[in-house]
Structure 1
């Protein structure tokens, strides 16, 4: 795995990201991973599903060919009978044999070789069957290559090789070149076109399957990291003394409480009536807990807010079990104060979604908010526009005034965004000096006008309060989210093209990327 993804701490971060991207690259034609290591990992993980699929294919082949064997008796008394029946028996025996072998295969290579052998032998046998030159035989000539391409679960090279060889066997076996030379060329061309189309279908299916696998793998890794983080926090809190309290199930009277419980609540719950009612925020909180215990026999990891003696609210994690005692049914509960942990989680969520330098949402947060904004706009049938903004000559600012001044420029721009944008507008730093802005309710003309106003406001940003700093300008690409777009990817691509056009035309201007008409430009006079 280290060889796959790289773990050289001395490498530059950008180089590591680039190498990881190359490792995950997918072949243009095959749709398989370019990295042999990653492709091997993928095939090993998918081996059980591949074998299950292959066994189903063999079972289906055996059953269908057995049914066709009965129909082959219609050739009895003809020379083709002595070709059809043996060939059909070969396909049946071959399917059963492969089914037996697949049940004992333990490696992807063995599975691929088994499927290759089945495709080759089965193709030759069926090639003999279509020598009847019947209308059903013509159907098989077209259908079998499709089955090879679309149903056979194996490597791309094996599928394509098997499909091409099958088509050749079908063409030769059908004998159209001998029966009707004038139409043989048409049949050959049709088979070539069929193979080309099926190669594209298999390539696309392979690509989608691997992209889904990568996404699922990333999701599992992230989930594991989050679970590990949560478990670590839980252990840290569990290491401290846990407040415990035992109450009577029917009356709610506190039977016993430990010192940690008194420390959490601010006083001993056995005093002042010996009940927990004063600590519940809502009157029905205890009834809900009791109902859960009556239904499940226990309470596991239920979060609840309580009000302690000084009036402050604390969030606790409750675990409880019902215990039958001689004095009656008791509820024994443990409470862990997770108020600080919840604050940390909120802080971590903020850090994970916010750019540290500018305080604006980062790319991930902006893209997530964009999906939600698109869904809201779709439900309300309201327009939604996107601005892609890039600060002009930003590298020159860093080189001339230093990176500290560049950072101040980015922070000043962020403050401008907060001052000039509406409450429902969405802004995010996408990387470097590039920013994205979503304008709900704005059509193309309104968005272009807003971009021009915003661009003019950028010109008046005072990066250096002493007046010696750089002057900022920005190039802006504008586009409108289309009805068939569920995320921002295509819109960003359009706006980026418009942004590059703005830079090409001299910077400090906004360019509207029309869909599908040519871009409209709003430039400085």
Structure 2
């Protein structure tokens, strides 16, 4: 019945109550599905097994009735002999005919009709056989209805109707009511009890079979849905635009990788050694990532570099989670390639910190780098010298030769400085034709000597090799020492500027030391 609460028993024997929906409702008496279409589906799915058992039943009937035919010769010489032998032959031929008919059946209804025909015809033939009223005949009177109920596969109404009809025919054929009226009632009650019990048995059997079928169908549906879900997830994983890879925590072996990850690496990471070790750039990267995974079961937005199959380096952001599976601990990582974005960031950083004309650090970058150098000098106690360089008569170059020639002069000066300065020296364009140079590890005397060499090198610059009488450069340079306790260059720049202005006042092309340092200034040769 629709909405009827059903009691099922699971594999552990624990009872659980479930509601069977309208489509799965079972009839109270027959135990079959109330929904005709559902019952048809059930019967059609089980048809191969139904036909198999039906054919086995026909074979058994043929064998047993053949054996009984040999036994029937004991009636030879009696009137019953001419009843028993023809009836037995009919049961054998009937079984053969039904066996052959079952081989051509393709629908549950056809199988039921063949079984009904066999049960009716067989009961009529056996009715004649039990007229002998022998002990074995009484055994058949009881056994044949039992066989119909318990062995014959078919619809409930067909089996029950044929079982009841068979019992009635067996009772009439056996003739107990004639031979012994006192026991005829007992036999009739026994057959009634047998039919009642067997109807209950097949009803219960039908019910259990259909409940099991519903459960199996649900399991198949769930399994199909799970397979579909797995297939969908696998397709989504493979088609994800974000490179993704799954590795084994212990061995580092690549378990799976999607197409985007293969495209990023330029190869299949599952080929060859099957690990990601060849793609790490920095030694210890994997151990660093594993330490984060072991601590938090995940890590996110970790920036690192990887090496692709063609040897190029890519900057990526990695995010990963650890997952426990039946096959061990797996690490699922998603990778975002930020190489292009990183290049843009570096470009913007370069533009923000670099003078685009000369390629030297601009004022902001120079002062920021200088603060770090001052802090390092404070810790190590080494001296730190500052040169302020100004190209002489630069306005004359712009006015007489044009701004393009002035730009060439600035670039030539920058190239000269990069060539002559040490790797740890710091230079920057502070504005116009004024430059600052920081010399770590130089005291006043060493800084004055370095400034003198630089002034002489500047005098040898040829701005434009194609113009023989082109402009010549010279520079005025102010030198000072960054004092202890100064956290930036502001005061030092002021002192170096005073020395620079003194060099200009003296006629330019001079190196002048901060007068507070009391070392003679260097004059041009």
TM-score (norm 1): 0.49
TM-score (norm 2): 0.49
